[in-house]
């Protein structure tokens, strides 16, 4: 099972890495750059090491989590709710240690073992497993979403004023405000929003491939003059997003229709 999951990530990752690297090499050669075989080889190695495209950081992170999953799965099966909550509380606290200003107020306690993206799958497992019975759940979930977004906006504004330039640190996935918003959204969909639409199921099945392909599609759209700035951003952002999602889905669906395509499309 573990090997199957890793290969399901690896083959599409390799396919799309080759595509993005090939495009970058084509642009270099098209600009008149002369590249020796050794330079091309080094370029490919560097790209594979750092990511063929900037959004590939997510894939490297997922691979790292998958390597740890066999251990985490055994721990989760043998742990009770209190032990899982204990981990999640310390994980949530660890998020504050990286925040500006607040980080200077917290003593240097070594809690790196509880930090990082590993908290998200454990949190997802816990929220899936537990059923909350308190009243007005929908209101509370919506409040969590709203308070998380509000903290993001206000904290970004104040830190931008403080630093004298735009500060995007509170958009980081490993910040308390993003976790709070994620919890609210997760529980809202889990308890109240039941989606059986064929469109949603298709997007779910192709989500990995769509993620890998979407930067390629965005670059193509931009060359055609279509981006969030081609018109008022209020219209440009949703139009570009819908186009990107639709085209990415069609590309992944098309690759899947070929023999062995499902192994490389994502």
pLDDT in tens, 40-60: 999 999 999 999 999 999 999
Tell me: pLDDT of 2 over 90: no
pLDDT of residue 193: 74
Same domain, 190 and 210: no
Same domain, 72 and 93: no
- In this structure, the answer to whether residues 5 and 91 fall within a common structural domain is no
Q: Which pLDDT band, with edges at 50, 70 and 90, does 207 fall under?
A: very high
Q: Which stretches of the chain are DSSP H helices? A: 2-30, 37-50, 57-78, 81-96, 119-129, 137-163, 176-191, 198-205, 207-223, 233-256, 261-265
Binned at pLDDT 50, 70 and 90, residue 148 comes out as: very high
The answer on 107 and 172 residing in a single domain is: yes
What is d(CA 84, CA 97) in angstroms, rounded to the nearest whole number? Answer: 21
What angle (nearest 5°) sits at the alpha carbon of residue 128, between those of residues 125 and 133?
Answer: 135
Same domain, 56 and 92: no
95 and 186 housed in the same domain: yes
**Angle, CA of 66, 55 and 262, to the nearest 5°:** 60
Question: Do 205 and 187 share a structural domain?
Answer: no
**What total of structural domains would you count in the chain?**
3
Please, which pLDDT band fits residue 86 given cuts at 50, 70 and 90?
very high
Distance CA 117, CA 62 (A): 9
Q: What's the rounded Cα separation, in Å, for the pair 22 and 219?
A: 14
Do residue 62 and residue 126 come from a single domain? no
Mean pLDDT (whole number) for 214-222: 94
Using a pLDDT cut of 90, give the percent of the chain over it. Answer: 55
pLDDT computed for residue 232 by the predictor? 78
Supply the pLDDT for residue 196: 66
100 band by pLDDT with thresholds 50, 70 and 90: confident
Same domain, yes or no: 109 and 180: yes
**Quick check: 266 pLDDT over 80?**
no
Last residue of a domain, one of 78, 106, 126: 78
Domain that holds residue 71: 1-78
Query: Are 159 and 170 in contact, with CB atoms under 8 Å apart?
Result: yes
State the average pLDDT over residues 114-142.
90
Q: 174 and 116 in contact (C-beta within 8 Å)?
A: yes
Domain boundary among 194, 220, 243: 194
**For the segment 55-76, what is each residue's pLDDT rounded down to a tens digit?**
999 999 998 888 888 899 999 9
Question: 37-63 burial string, b = 16+ CB within 10 Å, else e?
Answer: eeeeeeebeebeeebbbeebeebeebe
Which residue, of 78, 111, 130, is where some domain finishes?
78
24, 127: one domain: no
Q: How far is CA 241 from the centre of its chain?
A: 16
- Residues 150 and 122 both lie in one domain: yes
């Amino acid at each position: 099972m573990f090997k199957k999951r890793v290969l399901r990530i690896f083959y599409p990752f390799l396919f799309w890495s080759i595509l993005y690297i090939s495009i970058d090499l084509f642009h270099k050669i098209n600009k008149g750059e002369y590249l020796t075989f050794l330079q091309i080889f080094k370029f490919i190695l560097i790209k594979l090491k750092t990511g063929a495209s900037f959004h590939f950081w997510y894939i490297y992170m997922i691979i790292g989590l998958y390597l740890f999953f066999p251990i985490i799965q055994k721990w989760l099966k043998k742990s009770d709710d209190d032990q899982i909550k204990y981990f999640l509380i310390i994980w949530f606290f660890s998020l504050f240690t990286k925040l500006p200003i607040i980080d200077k107020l917290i003593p240097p306690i070594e809690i790196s073992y509880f930090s990082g993206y590993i908290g998200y799958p454990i949190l997802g497992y816990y929220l899936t497993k537990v059923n909350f019975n308190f009243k007005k759940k929908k209101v509370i979930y919506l409040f969590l979403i709203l308070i998380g977004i509000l903290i993001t906006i206000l904290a970004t504004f104040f830190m931008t004023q403080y630093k004298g330039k735009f500060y995007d640190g509170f958009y980081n996935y490993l910040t308390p405000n993003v976790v709070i918003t994620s919890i609210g959204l997760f529980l809202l969909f889990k308890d109240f929003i039941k989606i059986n639409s064929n469109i949603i199921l298709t997007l779910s099945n192709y989500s990995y491939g769509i993620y890998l392909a979407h930067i390629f599609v965005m670059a193509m759209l931009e060359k055609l003059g279509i981006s969030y700035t081609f018109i008022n951003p209020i219209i440009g952002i949703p139009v570009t997003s819908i186009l990107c999602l639709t085209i990415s889905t069609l590309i992944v669906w098309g690759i899947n229709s070929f023999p062995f395509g499902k192994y490389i499309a994502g």
